[in-house]
Amino acid sequence: MSLNHVRPWRNIYRRKSRQIMVGDVAIGGDAPIAVQTMTNTLTTDVAATVAQVQAAAEAGADIVRVSVPDEASSKALKEIVRESPVPIVADIHFHYKRGIEAAEAGAACLRINPGNIGDEKRVQEVIKAARDHNCSIRIGVNAGSLEKHLLEKYGEPCPKAMVESGLEHIRILEDNDFHNFKISVKASDVFLSAAAYQGIAEATDAPIHLGITEAGGLVSGTIKSAIGLGNLLWMGIGDTIRVSLSADPVEEVKVGYEILKSLGLRHRGVNIISCPSCARQGFDVIKTVEALEQRLEHIKTPMSLSIIGCVVNGPGEALMTDVGFTGGGAGSGMVYLAGKASHKMSNDQMIDHIVEQVEKKAAELDAAAEAAE
Ligand code: SF4
């Protein structure tokens, strides 16, 4: 149960956006903030792409994007859509025909900038294909590919130029009476991106796709994304997120979820609270947490687990978690259940035992949630 009524400092007031559908996933309004990623396989390699989509979905991705650079990829897309457990977004650049083909192939959304695909007739054809196939559109403004006239007007990519670019693309869709769209204004610079997102959030009620583009590798990209997306989400801006990392898409999904979990915006799986460890630890905290993270990956039920090296902070943290373990002396520690000290357990059996306790608690929570429905 949310305790935000007694802990108001945790409240986040989400910007009111209109809701659209990407396949069967609602984006915007009061829908949960969706987590996305993108495949990095060759789209024409259907088996590899489907395997990556499935792995991302298993890790919690609500939506997966796939690049569609050529006609062969459009053909492969049809099969990928058929095999995918989640809606597929087709990433299109410049080629209006790819947009039409992707909509026909069953893409749930086209990531395409209507101002960059040629004359009005071409734009209208893509919009018609999207409308005919119940396909939404994401306008994807990127600081690295702003239109020439805006760069001339503003001198360099800046928040105003990015917002203006977004509004120009929006106008094209709205002039064609197409409102089934969301928008992103990404930059690799955290300040530029955050300012552009604040500007676009004020200028439209379209749902917003958040991302810091080309954020970097696993560690640096995670930090950049957590700062950029974290601040925006905290302000209430953002209806779907993609963390861009030079890493496996599954890592992007995990990081996306962790950002949302940190802000209490979404919950999935075991939230492990663990101490950094020090000379006081009664067991090897770091190795134990590494092992538990792997052993508990299959748990999707939102719950919490505290793994604390000693009694300095162990009992206090355990108070707030579903399952806890606190290191003690003589090769054993205390297991906490629902915040209360329950029984002692030896360090060498503790990992198996905690996995068992977490699985048991997850089953209980699932049953309670089912009964409440
Ligand atoms: S909880 Fe104990 S073991 Fe962990 S860092 Fe703090 S003092 Fe060290």
Quick one: average pLDDT of 94-121? Answer: 91
| CB of 90 closer than 8 Å to CB of 98 | yes
Query: Residue 339: pLDDT above 60?
Result: yes
- How many Å lie between the centroid of ligand 1 and the Cα of residue 279? 8
Side chain identity, residue 145: S
Which atom in ligand 1 lies closest to the alpha carbon of residue 280? Answer: 3
**Residue corresponding to tokens 């552009």:** 196
pLDDT digits (tens, 9 = 90+) for 40-79: 999 999 999 999 999 999 999 999 999 999 999 999 999 9
Quick one: average pLDDT of 80-95? Answer: 95
Query: Residue 115: pLDDT above 80?
Result: no
Residue whose CB lies within 8 A of the most ligand 1 atoms, among 313, 319, 325, for a mutation test: 313
Quick one: average pLDDT of 308-337? Answer: 93
Check if 278 has its Cβ closer than 6 Å to any atom of ligand 1: yes
DSSP string spanning 123-143? HHHHHHHHHHTT-EEEEEEEG
- How many Å lie between the centroid of ligand 1 and the Cα of residue 267? 26
pLDDT digits (tens, 9 = 90+) for 341-351: 999 999 999 99
Burial class from Cβ neighbours inside 10 Å (0-12, 13-18, 19+) for residue 31 reads middle
Residue whose CB lies within 8 A of the most ligand 1 atoms, among 272, 307, 308, for a mutation test: 308
Picking from 68, 132, 141, 139, the residue whose alpha carbon sits closest to that of residue 98 is: 68
Query: Residue 118: pLDDT above 50?
Result: yes
- Three-point CA angle 356, 358, 359, nearest 5°: 65
C-alpha dist (Å) from residue 128 to 97, 116, 133, 153, 179: 12, 17, 9, 32, 12
Query: Residue 1: pLDDT above 50?
Result: no
Report helix angle 249-262 to 46-58, nearest 10.
20
Rounded percentage of the chain residues whose pLDDT exceeds 70: 99
In the predicted model, what is the mean pLDDT of the chain?
94
Which atom in ligand 1 lies closest to the alpha carbon of residue 327? Answer: 3
Q: Which helix (H) or strand (E) holds 361?
A: helix 350-372
3-state SS assignment for residue 316: helix
pLDDT band at 4 (very low <50, low <70, confident <90, very high): low
Check if 286 has its Cβ closer than 6 Å to any atom of ligand 1: no
Quick one: average pLDDT of 69-97? Answer: 95
Quick one: average pLDDT of 128-156? Answer: 95
pLDDT the model gives residue 94: 83
| CB of 192 closer than 8 Å to CB of 250 | no
b/e code 283-302 from CB counts within 10 Å (16+ = b) = bebeebbebbeebbeebebb
| CB of 298 closer than 8 Å to CB of 272 | no
pLDDT band at 367 (very low <50, low <70, confident <90, very high): very high
- How far is it, in rounded angstroms, from Cα 194 to Cα 242? 14
Quick one: average pLDDT of 298-320? Answer: 92
- How many Å lie between the centroid of ligand 1 and the Cα of residue 323? 18
- How many Å lie between the centroid of ligand 1 and the Cα of residue 269? 25
pLDDT the model gives residue 337: 96
Picking from 299, 275, 291, the residue whose alpha carbon sits closest to that of residue 347 is: 291
Q: Which residue CA neighbors atom 2 of ligand 1 most closely?
A: 310
Which atom in ligand 1 lies closest to the alpha carbon of residue 310? Answer: 2
Check if 279 has its Cβ closer than 6 Å to any atom of ligand 1: no
- How many Å lie between the centroid of ligand 1 and the Cα of residue 305? 16
Quick one: average pLDDT of 172-197? Answer: 96
Write the DSSP symbol of residue 146.
-
| CB of 237 closer than 8 Å to CB of 197 | yes
- Return the top range by mean pLDDT from 109-118, 312-321, 349-358: 349-358
